[in-house]
Amino acid sequence: MVPNEGQLRDVRPALVFMSGELIAVPIPLEREEVILGRAFEADVRVNDSKVSRNHAKIVTRESDGKAEYILSDMGSRNGTYVNGERVTEHFLEHGDKITIGEQILRFDMLDEIDREYQRQIHRLISHDDLTGLLSSRSFFSELRRESAKARAENRRFCVLMMDVDHFKNVNDKYGHLTGSRTLEEIGACIVSVMRSGDAASRFGGEEFSAFLLDADLPQAMVAAERIRTVVEKKAFTVIRHGAPGETHSVTISIGIATFPDDSVDPIELVEMADSALYRAKREGRNRVCAYRKLSPEEMAKELPRRTD
């Protein structure tokens, strides 16, 4: 059933991704003309090689006091489809499904409750239930996006791979409830060191990952050492009947790779940081290792203070 706009409060048009990296994300159509495409300057950027730089546009116009939303193909290489049919121009209606490249977006008229619902669905899909950090899939999505942006803007960033040392001992000694609480608290430790714009994920099991924006290797070493120290000093909660207030301790090992010095490929950066992580493990754990060593110039440079 198509909603009656008079029955809903603050109804606004939006595109909702139904597949791909941004699944369930509602994109409000707040401008008279909205460009969909692969270009950085596109209003709705779709990271898909089969999508043209400027693929299609949605124009809003008034007709007899009512808003109309017109989708037009912009001469794209692979075409624009609505409900399975290729179109050059189409008057959009609530529920229409738009396909560009391999991405499907639904045109919806959403009220504020609908929009919040879609955001919550996306959060459930893209974040780890236990820690609230990004899932590994969402982390790779954000990392690919940041790599492309950093390449275009000639910016630096660093990738951290982190693994809790001897985590099996925690589960064996205190039980899985304590193990789960420990992972949750480690996630909070990592977030406490990061700045706005940085991103962290639970990569899998007791392994975490992060990227630090506008950071070179000396800055990343400082941030990683802060994470290591916070975890080492933290009194982690023990969940055990009859032992209120009991705590335990763990340590964490961290590996670092830098963009663009180590690689400009996001997957390779993660592999390099992972290689550095396992070197930290081999060298005794509870330490930070970089994929490459600091140059004499970097070692002599005063390490900049990362600020919030």
Tokens linked to 301: 């440079």
The continuous run of DSSP H or E covering 225 comes out as helix 217-233
| Residue appearing with tokens 């809903």 | 8
pLDDT of residue 11: 81
Q: How far out from the chain centre does Cα 28 lie?
A: 20
- DSSP 8-state symbol, 43: S
Per-residue pLDDT at 308 = 39
**Residues belonging to the active site:** 206
**pLDDT per position in the chain (308 positions), as tens?**
444 544 446 788 888 888 766 665 677 787 899 999 988 788 888 878 899 999 999 999 988 878 899 999 999 999 999 999 999 999 999 999 999 998 899 898 887 776 676 666 656 566 787 888 888 888 888 898 888 889 888 999 999 999 999 999 999 999 999 999 999 999 999 999 998 889 999 988 899 999 999 999 999 999 999 999 999 999 999 998 767 789 999 999 999 999 999 999 999 999 999 999 999 999 999 999 999 876 666 666 544 444 43
| E strand intervals along 228-279 | 236-237, 247-248, 252-259
Q: How many CB atoms lie within 10 A of CB 15?
A: 21
Number of helical H runs and strand E runs in the chain: 7, 18
Which pTM does this prediction carry? Answer: 0.65
- Classify residue 214 by burial, with Cβ atoms within 10 Å: 0-12, 13-18, 19+: middle
- Distance separating alpha carbons of residues 167 and 170, to the nearest angstrom: 5
